[in-house]
């Protein structure tokens, strides 16, 4: 049964990818659907023109990223939660850094943990930033605002 | 001859079994058991044979018999002697009736080493009743007594009836061998001796020994001279242990004369092979009772002895049964599963119908377990018991200690000798911090001695110390203080038994505590997991509540003012809850954290805290002064938390004073460094003093100020972790000072 479901989900994703041939600006892995929902809206509030692709577990994330690679589609920013079902954010980060096509896409951790150990490990594995999830929607919007300013506006300018 | 030291023990050395004399109301001949040749003879035989006693030494008894006992054939006498030797017992022969110069006499045969002693005494008695007949009735009279005292008094009365002496007393020997008159029947005109005590030296050791071997002894008349025994056996005096005519010590004769006694008769009372006491009979005129009467009295004495033995056993057994049943009940309670905590061990010992005081004959007991004193029955005061325990701790060499004269070894106890002249202590722990003490009250406060018991020795005419038996038998009262009844072997062994049980229970309790500790450790670990759950699982949905509310507010343009207000309240509630969760996490983190003691630069630390606090307030109203800031040892992060909390509080609760004055300073003392944080704020209500440091406790007057009620609880936890102390002084409306004292390491 479960295998069938997985298969069904796989086709849905394939359909989505095909439908969404243009690259997502932001690829976000987050298992908290509430937070994912709020973040998606906050990003829209910051910049309505950005496209966001969200998946809620590590395995789907890997599959989707592989699809992106195969289609030579490169997101502009990857955001990862740390505590994910199935595969941790750290493991996911390692896999991403092993994909030559995605190797240079900036990866930002976005998590509840403020544990210094987690922060240090994330940076060591090659994360480009580590953000603790802010409390409340207003804070989230301002947080994403500065994230956007740094990785989309200034970065672009630099390039 | 040098001055021979005469003392009370001097009588002990007098060889009274070989006095070399017999009392002169009869005479003695001893023959060698095989040849029947005469070996010893008393000089007063001359009164009967009109010849010197010496002349008969070495001659055969049959030669003497021809002159002395013409009515008796040689064969008869030889048969008599051989019968006794053959059966090794002369009791069935004694007394043998015969006639001497026309008077009826008794011949009494006894054996003394290799000699057979023949003693002749008159049949004529000053007694004219038929003793044999009255004995049966006497015995049944004696045994009607319900208790020991009644039996003794009955016995004295019956013996007086049989022998008709002026005074019949029953003496009982105490453990220290002094005697006490426990029963007395006397002629009305005589002064009573009942209850009087006689020093042990009045009846010296070797006399006691004789009393055990020869159960009766008569002194027919103290005013007649004893007759010497002659013999060729130089240096081998005849042993008169079993003799009926044995002359007694001149010291004893003098003793009796001083008392005004003319005749004395005694019957030994023996219980369990030991001399229990004596029936002592005194007559104030010479009074001779013959062998048969003495044997009758002896029989009464023997019956009394077995009654004593039985009664004593019965009373001892009753007592022992009572002690044992109390001990058994208590050990059953100790063994029950319930008695695992300290308080229930104490309860097993002290609560219920019987308690640990009942396992001895003491009048009270004290139990010290877990530093808590429980008292039962009559005991000294708590303070005094602590004093006793202190002395025991310093002086107890063994796990058990007892004395019946405690105030004599520990003089402060004289103040409470009435309740604690006797103590029996048993230690329950190696360090002697836990023990049980039993108490016995002072018992004999006055001993009435028959005369001064210290028999004076006086130098005689020739300068040699002479023992002079006391003249006065007037009651001489000696106050015996600081002494209780002795602790018996039964009491001590019962106590030892209970001690084992208590120690076992304590050990079991220690095990239970260890298990509890392990479980507590597990619970702590679970709490740790719980804390994590709170932080993660609880905060995430809470965050959603807040975020969705804000999201609605930010994105839904159709909301009216009322809806906006409600959503804002939801956001505020979520914020408050989030803060509480964070504080609880902080609080539990302090409990589990290991402290790293380091020297802390307090000037820097307080400076940093002050800057942070001042920045947060952004008010010109605040006057924060920092005095001396001596360094302390502690955990940097935790101490920072302490000062942040306290200074924050000071600033917060004085923020409505104008100006708000907060001062932080420290001073170094001998053992400690004391910091104070003072403010001129709202102060703390006295009624809340005890609850200030409790979790989530906020004072009524603090409701208007923001806070969770966790801060001071965290401070207290940290302070305790540092083995420091925290306290405060406060006055409602005028301010508060918190003090923290850190140890100087």
- A34–B contact, CB cutoff 8 A: yes
Task: Give the DSSP per-residue string, B117-152.
Answer: EEEEEES--S--S-HHHHHHHHHHHHHT-SSHHHHH
- A140–B contact, CB cutoff 8 A: yes
CA–CA distance, A86 with A106 (Å, rounded to integer): 23
When computed from its CA atoms, the radius of gyration of chain A, rounded to whole angstroms, is: 15
- Report the pLDDT value the prediction gives residue B739, as an integer from 0 to 100: 95
Which phi and psi (to 5°) does residue B686 adopt? -50, -35
- Report the pLDDT value the prediction gives residue A19, as an integer from 0 to 100: 56
Q: Contacts of residue B551 in chain A, CB cutoff 8 Å? A: 38, 41, 137
* Angle, CA A14 vertex, CA A10 and CA A16 arms, to 5°: 115
- A35–B contact, CB cutoff 8 A: yes
Q: How confident is the model at residue A159 (pLDDT cuts 50, 70, 90)?
A: very low
Supply the mean pLDDT for chain B: 83
Q: Which residue has the tokens 């005749």?
A: B263
Nearest CA among B242, B237, B184 for reference residue B212: B242
CA–CA distance, B70 with B563 (Å, rounded to integer): 151
**Per-residue pLDDT reduced to its tens digit, A49-58:** 888 999 999 8
Give the pair of three-digit tokens for residue B265: 């008769």
Give start and end residues of each alpha helix (H) in B336-381. 342-350
Domain covering B21-122 assigned CATH 1.20.1560.10 in the classification: no
Q: Contacts of residue A136 in chain B, CB cutoff 8 Å? A: 543, 546-547, 550, 571
Maximum separation of any 2 CA atoms in chain A, in Å: 51
Q: How many CB atoms sit inside 10 A of residue B9's CB?
A: 12
CA distance B707 to chain A (A): 20
Classify domain A2-33+51-132 by CATH number.
Answer: 3.40.50.2300
- Report the pLDDT value the prediction gives residue B191, as an integer from 0 to 100: 83
- In total, the C-beta contacts within 8 angstroms joining chain A to chain B are 45
- Among positive and negative, which fits the CA dihedral B40, B44, B49, B52? positive
The mean pLDDT of A69-88, rounded to a whole number, is 88
Q: Contacts of residue B549 in chain A, CB cutoff 8 Å? A: 137
A37 near A28, Cβ under 8 Å?
no
CA–CA distance, B222 with B469 (Å, rounded to integer): 15
Tell if the CB–CB gap between A38 and B551 is shorter than 8 Å.
Answer: yes
- B536–A contact, CB cutoff 8 A: yes
Tell if the CB–CB gap between A34 and B548 is shorter than 8 Å.
Answer: yes
Domains in chain B: boundaries: 21-122, 512-588, 594-743
CA–CA distance, B259 with B253 (Å, rounded to integer): 10
CA–CA distance, A114 with B280 (Å, rounded to integer): 103
When computed from its CA atoms, the radius of gyration of chain B, rounded to whole angstroms, is: 47
Nearest CA among B723, B725, B727, B741 for reference residue B597: B723
Give the pair of three-digit tokens for residue B393: 């701790």
Q: Which residue has the tokens 């008769």?
A: B265
Domain covering B512-588 assigned CATH 1.10.287 in the classification: yes
- Report the pLDDT value the prediction gives residue B71, as an integer from 0 to 100: 72
Which candidate from B539, B547, B575 shows the least CB-CB separation from A38? B547
CA–CA distance, B74 with B65 (Å, rounded to integer): 7
User: How far is residue B583 CA from its own chain's centroid?
Assistant: 58
- Report the pLDDT value the prediction gives residue B456, as an integer from 0 to 100: 45
CA–CA distance, B202 with B170 (Å, rounded to integer): 15
Class of residue B59 by CB neighbours under 10 A (exposed 0-12, middle 13-18, buried 19+)? middle
Task: Give the DSSP per-residue string, A36-105.
Answer: HHHHHHHHHHH-TT--EEEESSHHHHHHHHHHHHHTT---SEEEE-SS-SSS-HHHHHHHHHH-TTTTTS
CA distance A37 to chain B (A): 10
* Interface test with chain B among A137, A139, A141, by most B beta carbons within 10 Å: A137
- Report the pLDDT value the prediction gives residue A83, as an integer from 0 to 100: 86
Tell if the CB–CB gap between B551 and A35 is shorter than 8 Å.
Answer: no
Give the pair of three-digit tokens for residue B220: 């027919």
* Interface test with chain B among A85, A135, A140, by most B beta carbons within 10 Å: A135
Tell if the CB–CB gap between B540 and A32 is shorter than 8 Å.
Answer: yes
Helix (H) / strand (E) element for B555: namely helix B539-555
B725 near B745, Cβ under 8 Å?
no
Class of domain B594-743 as given by CATH: alpha beta
- Report the pLDDT value the prediction gives residue B566, as an integer from 0 to 100: 93
Of how many residues is chain B composed?
A: 745
Which candidate from B536, B547, B551 shows the least CB-CB separation from A112? B536
Which residue of chain B is at minimal alpha-carbon distance from A36? B544
Task: Give the DSSP per-residue string, A96-122.
Answer: HHH-TTTTTS-EEEEES---HHHHHHH
Q: Contacts of residue A45 in chain B, CB cutoff 8 Å? A: 554-555
Residue of higher predicted confidence among A64 and B142:
A64
B590 near B718, Cβ under 8 Å?
yes
Give the pair of three-digit tokens for residue B451: 């005369």
Q: Contacts of residue B578 in chain A, CB cutoff 8 Å? A: 135
Q: Contacts of residue A32 in chain B, CB cutoff 8 Å? A: 540, 544
Nearest CA among B88, B66, B91 for reference residue B77: B66
CA distance A141 to chain B (A): 10
Q: Contacts of residue B547 in chain A, CB cutoff 8 Å? A: 34-35, 38, 135-137, 140
Q: With H, G, I as helix, E, B as strand and everything else as coil, classify residue B576.
A: helix
- A115–B contact, CB cutoff 8 A: no
Q: Which of residues 55-74 of A touch B (CB under 8 A)?
A: none
Give the pair of three-digit tokens for residue A111: 């998590």
Give the pair of three-digit tokens for residue A36: 């994912």
- B557–A contact, CB cutoff 8 A: no
B363 near B378, Cβ under 8 Å?
yes
- A85–B contact, CB cutoff 8 A: no
Give the pair of three-digit tokens for residue B475: 């009651």
Tell if the CB–CB gap between A35 and B550 is shorter than 8 Å.
Answer: no
Domains in chain A: boundaries: 2-33+51-132
- B543–A contact, CB cutoff 8 A: yes
Provide CB contacts within 8 A for B580, sequence distance 6+: B708, B710
CA–CA distance, B258 with B326 (Å, rounded to integer): 52
What is the SS3 assignment for B627-695? Answer: CCCCCEEECHHHHHHHHHHHHHHHHHHCCCCCCEEEEEEEEECCCEEEEEEEECCCCCCHHHHHHCCCC
Lowest mean pLDDT among A17-26, A128-137, B157-166: A17-26
Give the pair of three-digit tokens for residue B728: 């405060």
- Report the pLDDT value the prediction gives residue A145, as an integer from 0 to 100: 92
**Per-residue pLDDT reduced to its tens digit, B667-694:** 999 889 999 999 999 998 877 877 888 8
**Per-residue pLDDT reduced to its tens digit, B6-36:** 444 455 667 777 778 888 888 888 888 888 8
CA–CA distance, B552 with B455 (Å, rounded to integer): 116
Provide CB contacts within 8 A for B257, sequence distance 6+: B222, B223
B455 near B199, Cβ under 8 Å?
yes
Lowest mean pLDDT among A16-20, A64-68, B12-16, B575-579: A16-20
Helix (H) / strand (E) element for B173: namely strand B167-173
- A144–B contact, CB cutoff 8 A: no
Nearest CA among B342, B443, B429, B435 for reference residue B388: B435
Which phi and psi (to 5°) does residue B56 adopt? -95, -5
- Report the pLDDT value the prediction gives residue B4, as an integer from 0 to 100: 40
Q: Is the pLDDT of residue A147 over 70?
A: yes
Q: Which residues of chain B have pLDDT under 50?
A: 1-9, 339-340, 455-467
Of how many residues is chain A composed?
A: 159
* Start-to-end CA span in chain B (Å): 79
Which candidate from A45, A112, A140 shows the least CB-CB separation from B547? A140
DSSP bridge partners of B400: B426
CA distance B535 to chain A (A): 10
- Report the pLDDT value the prediction gives residue A29, as an integer from 0 to 100: 94
Supply the mean pLDDT for chain A: 85
- Among positive and negative, which fits the CA dihedral B408, B412, B417, B421? negative
Q: Which residue has the tokens 């990785």?
A: A151
């Amino acid at each position: 049964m479960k295998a069938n479901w997985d298969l069904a989900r796989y086709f849905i994703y394939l359909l989505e990818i095909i439908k969404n041939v243009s690259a997502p600006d932001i690829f976000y892995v987050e298992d908290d659907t509430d937070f994912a929902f709020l973040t998606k809206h906050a990003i829209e509030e910051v910049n309505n023109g950005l496209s966001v692709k969200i998946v809620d577990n590590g395995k789907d994330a890997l599959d989707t990223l592989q699809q992106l690679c195969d289609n030579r589609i490169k997101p502009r920013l990857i955001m990862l939660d740390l505590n994910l079902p199935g595969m941790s954010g750290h493991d996911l980060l390692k896999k991403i850094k092993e994909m030559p096509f995605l190797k240079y896409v900036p990866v930002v951790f976005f998590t509840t943990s403020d544990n210094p150990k987690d922060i240090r490990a994330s940076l060591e594995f090659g994360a480009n930033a580590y953000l603790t999830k802010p409390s409340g929607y207003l804070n989230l919007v301002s947080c994403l605002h500065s994230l956007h300013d740094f990785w989309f506006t200034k970065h672009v300018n630099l390039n | 001859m040098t001055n021979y030291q005469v003392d009370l023990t001097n009588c002990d050395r007098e060889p009274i079994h070989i006095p070399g004399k017999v009392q002169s109301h009869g005479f003695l001949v001893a023959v060698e058991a095989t040849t029947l040749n005469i070996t010893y003879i008393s000089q007063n035989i001359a009164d009967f044979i009109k010849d010197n006693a010496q002349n008969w030494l070495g001659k055969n008894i049959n030669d003497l018999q021809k002159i002395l006992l013409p009515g008796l054939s040689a064969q008869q006498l030889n048969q008599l002697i051989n019968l006794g030797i053959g059966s090794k017992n002369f009791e069935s022969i004694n007394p043998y009736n015969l006639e001497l110069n026309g008077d009826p006499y008794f011949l009494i045969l006894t054996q003394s080493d290799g000699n057979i002693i023949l003693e002749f005494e008159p049949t004529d008695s000053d007694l004219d009743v038929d003793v044999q007949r009255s004995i049966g009735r006497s015995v049944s009279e004696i045994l009607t007594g319900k208790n020991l005292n009644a039996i003794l008094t009955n016995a004295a009365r019956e013996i007086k009836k049989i022998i008709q002496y002026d005074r019949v007393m029953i003496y009982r020997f105490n453990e220290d061998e002094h005697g006490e008159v426990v029963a007395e029947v006397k002629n009305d005109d005589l002064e009573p001796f009942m209850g009087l005590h006689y020093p042990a030296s009045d009846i010296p050791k070797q006399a006691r020994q004789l009393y055990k071997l020869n159960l009766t002894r008569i002194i027919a008349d103290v005013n007649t001279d004893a007759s010497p025994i002659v013999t060729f056996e130089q240096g081998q005096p005849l042993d008169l242990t079993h003799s009926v005519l044995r002359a007694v010590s001149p010291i004893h004769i003098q003793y009796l004369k001083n008392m005004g006694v003319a005749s004395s008769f005694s019957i030994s009372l023996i219980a369990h092979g030991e001399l229990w006491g004596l029936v002592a009979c005194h007559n104030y005129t010479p009074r001779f009772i013959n062998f048969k009467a003495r044997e009758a009295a002896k029989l009464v004495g023997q019956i009394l002895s077995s009654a004593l033995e039985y009664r004593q056993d019965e009373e001892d057994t009753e007592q022992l049964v009572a002690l044992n049943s109390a001990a058994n009940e208590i050990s059953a309670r100790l063994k029950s599963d319930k008695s695992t905590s300290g308080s229930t061990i104490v309860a097993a010992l002290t609560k219920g119908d019987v308690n640990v005081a009942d396992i001895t004959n003491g009048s009270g007991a004290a139990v010290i377990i877990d530093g808590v004193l429980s008292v039962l029955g009559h005991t000294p005061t708590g303070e005094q018991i602590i004093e006793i325990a202190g002395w025991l701790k310093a002086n107890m060499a063994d796990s058990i200690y007892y004395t019946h004269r405690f105030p004599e070894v520990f003089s402060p106890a004289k103040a409470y000798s009435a309740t604690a002249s006797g103590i029996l202590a048993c230690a329950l722990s190696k360090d002697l911090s836990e023990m049980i003490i039993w108490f016995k009250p002072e018992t004999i406060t006055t001993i009435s001695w028959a005369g001064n018991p210290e028999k004076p020795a006086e130098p005689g005419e020739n300068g040699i110390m002479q023992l002079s038996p006391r003249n006065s038998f007037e009651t001489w009262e000696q106050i015996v203080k600081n002494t209780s009844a002795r602790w018996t072997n039964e009491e001590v062994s019962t106590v030892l038994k209970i001690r084992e049980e208590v120690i076992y229970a304590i050990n079991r309790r220690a095990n239970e505590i260890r298990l509890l500790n392990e479980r507590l450790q597990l619970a702590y670990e679970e709490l740790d997991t719980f804390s994590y759950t709170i932080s993660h699982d609880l905060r995430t949905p809470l965050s959603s509540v807040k975020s969705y509310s804000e999201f609605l507010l930010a994105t839904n343009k159709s909301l009216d003012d009322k809806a906006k207000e409600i959503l804002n309240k939801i956001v505020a509630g979520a914020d408050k809850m989030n803060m509480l969760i964070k504080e609880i996490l902080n609080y539990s983190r302090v409990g589990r954290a290991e402290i790293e003691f380091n020297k802390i630069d307090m000037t820097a630390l307080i400076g940093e805290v002050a800057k942070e606090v001042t920045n947060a307030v952004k008010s010109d109203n605040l006057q924060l002064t920092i005095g001396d800031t001596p360094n302390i040892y502690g955990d940097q992060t935790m101490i920072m938390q302490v000062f942040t909390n306290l200074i924050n509080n000071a600033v917060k609760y004085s923020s409505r004073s104008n100006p708000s004055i907060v001062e932080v300073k420290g001073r170094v003392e001998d053992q400690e460094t004391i910091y104070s944080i003072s403010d001129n704020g709202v102060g703390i209500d006295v009624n809340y003093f005890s609850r200030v440091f409790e979790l989530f406790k906020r004072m009524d007057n603090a409701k208007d100020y923001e806070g969770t009620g966790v801060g001071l609880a965290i401070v207290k936890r940290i302070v305790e972790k540092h083995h420091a102390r925290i306290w405060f002084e406060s006055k409602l409306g005028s301010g508060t000072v918190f003090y923290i004292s850190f140890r100087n390491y």
